[in-house]
Amino acid sequence: MFLKIYLMHQTHTDIGYTDRQEKLIKYHVDYLKQAVKISEAIAQGRKEWEGFVWNNETFWILERFLEHTDKSWKERLLKAIHRGISSWPATI
């Protein structure tokens, strides 16, 4: 009998507890950039990463990403979203 284990890629957004807001913005923008790069690698045939999904804990992460990145990153993120790289919570 085999046991199938699923790993969930996620960060915890606990502003004030994990770090100050300014630092967390930098961290989360970077994490989402990494997820976009992984999505692009999968699209280019990187088979070992197929099935990777980045789970955002809050919509705040997406808002900060859009505020702190240029147009090219926004376009890359949109393409990654269309490829299914991320799940998005309904938090406001």
Tell me the three state secondary structure of residue 33: helix
Cα 17 to Cα 13, 14, 20, 24, 76, distances in angstroms: 9, 6, 8, 11, 31
For residue 17, the model assigns a pLDDT of 74
Question: Six-digit token pair at 73?
Answer: 């990153």
Where residue 10 falls among pLDDT bands split at 50, 70, 90? low
Instruction: Give me the mean pLDDT over the 9-36 stretch.
Output: 83
pTM across the whole model: 0.82
Instruction: Give me the mean pLDDT over the 6-11 stretch.
Output: 67
Tens of pLDDT, residue by residue over 29-46, are: 999 999 999 999 999 999
For residue 85, the model assigns a pLDDT of 86
